[in-house]
Structure formats: structure tokens, C-alpha cells
Amino acid sequence: MSETNADDIDTADGAAEQAESGTANEAIMEATYRALCTHGAADLSVQAIADEFDKSKSLIFYHYDSREDLLSSFLAYLLENFKNRVAASEITDPVTQLDGLIDSLLYGPDDNESFQIAMLELRSQAPFNEAYREQFRRNRAHVHRLTARVIDCGIDDGVFAPVDPDYIATLLLTMIDGARLQLVVLGDETILDTTRAAIDDRLDATLFAEQRPSD
């Protein structure tokens, strides 16, 4: 009984261990979220994350090599959460899909101000940290592809005018980025609604251009 063999565990209980590892990982990610909200990203230590975690700091280092590895994995975790939310929404109509996507990106699933500040701090570290920058690029590329695909579906369905989906996706994401930056930096609460209205105007003038009555 006391001579359990690590290799046996690996093979016989592989699936159970994997599930447990997934649970541990989820718990680490949730602890990271709470630590980012409490301490920000600029000087966040693994110890501060461990303090939010009911297991030991060594378990964190069992899963992640370093603070950088943990935080870039956290960015990947945010992308997975985003994918899961989109997959769960079951909407197939491109107009409603695009509308929901814009709202979700602009207003966010999470209006926790401390978290938004921490994410801006992490962004400001990206130029020095290739792991963060690479993951921010992956997240952006995914959101961009998804937005362009929804626009493309709408064009195929004949509900959107034949625009360049990549160009419109870039434009939308740039406006959303700018609005969220102003919200966090200047504390300007009105910017999200103004930007939403501006996006609607822009889409009316392009995606729905052929449906509009001419002036």
C-alpha cells in the first residue's frame, strides 16, 4: 500500500489524474484572476497567486515553469473561456451573431475595473515579454478570424453587403480597443455607448449599405 508506484498511477489512473490536473489548473487560473484583481499585474508574484489558492505554491510550479508561463497560460485560458461562451450561444443568424460579438467584446463578460486595469498592465509588458505578446497576438487573431467569419457568413446569406470581412473586422476591433483603453485610463464611462453607436452607424453605412433607402 505504501509502495505505490508512480508509473502505475500514471497508466492505471491516467484519466482520473488528467481530470484532477484539469481541476487543479482551473483552480490555479481562478486564483490568478483573483490575484490580478487584488494586486494588479505590474508586480504580481507567484506567492500572491498562491495566497489566493487553497493548495500549495509548489503545485503551481508543478504546472507552470515561471510567473511568465503562468500569466501567458492565463491569457490562453481567457481565450478558451471566450471560445466556450461563443460556442454556447447557439445563435446562427449572422446579424444577431455580430451584434452579440461586438457587445461581448466592447462591454466584456467581466466589468471588474481592477481586472481591466491589470490586463492593461499586462498589455504594457507585452513589448518586453515575447510569451505575453505571442498570446495576445493569438487571442487577437482568434477574435479577428471569428468576427471576419461572421461577416463572411452574412455576405453569403445575402444579409450583408459584399464588403472585405478582414477590413471590417480590423476596424471594429480597433474601435473596441480604443474605447476600452479610454474607459480604463481616463475612467470615461460614456465612451462604450458612444462607440457602440458609432459602430452601428459604421455597419449601417457598409454592411447594410444596400438595404438602406438612398438619401
Residues at the contact surface with a copy of itself, assessed by CB under 8 A: 42, 113, 117, 120-121, 123-124, 126-128, 133, 136-137, 140, 167, 170-171, 173-179, 181-182, 184-187, 191, 194-195, 198, 202, 205, 214-215
Residue 128 CB, nearest approach to a copy of itself (Å): 8
DSSP characters for 11-80?
HHTHHHHHHHHHHHHHHHHHHHHHHHHHH-STT--HHHHHHTSSS-HHHHHHH-SSHHHHHHHHHHHHHH
Residue 61 CB, nearest approach to a copy of itself (Å): 25
**CB of 126 or CB of 146, closer to a copy of itself:** 126
Whether the CB-CB separation of 49 and 73 falls below 8 Å is answered with no
**CB of 50 or CB of 175, closer to a copy of itself:** 175
Residue 167 CB, nearest approach to a copy of itself (Å): 7
**CB of 28 or CB of 168, closer to a copy of itself:** 168
Distance CA(97)–CA(154), nearest Å, equals: 10
Whether the CB-CB separation of 154 and 94 falls below 8 Å is answered with yes
Q: Residue 126 has what DSSP assignment?
A: G
Residue 124 CB, nearest approach to a copy of itself (Å): 4
Residue 177 CB, nearest approach to a copy of itself (Å): 4
CB atoms within 10 A of CB 180: 20
**Listed residue (211, 182, 179) closest to 196, CA to CA:** 179
**CB of 88 or CB of 186, closer to a copy of itself:** 186
CA distances from 196 to 55, 78, 106, 159, 161 (A): 43, 23, 8, 20, 20
Distance CA(58)–CA(46), nearest Å, equals: 10
**CB of 41 or CB of 50, closer to a copy of itself:** 41
**CB of 91 or CB of 191, closer to a copy of itself:** 191
Residue 37 CB, nearest approach to a copy of itself (Å): 13
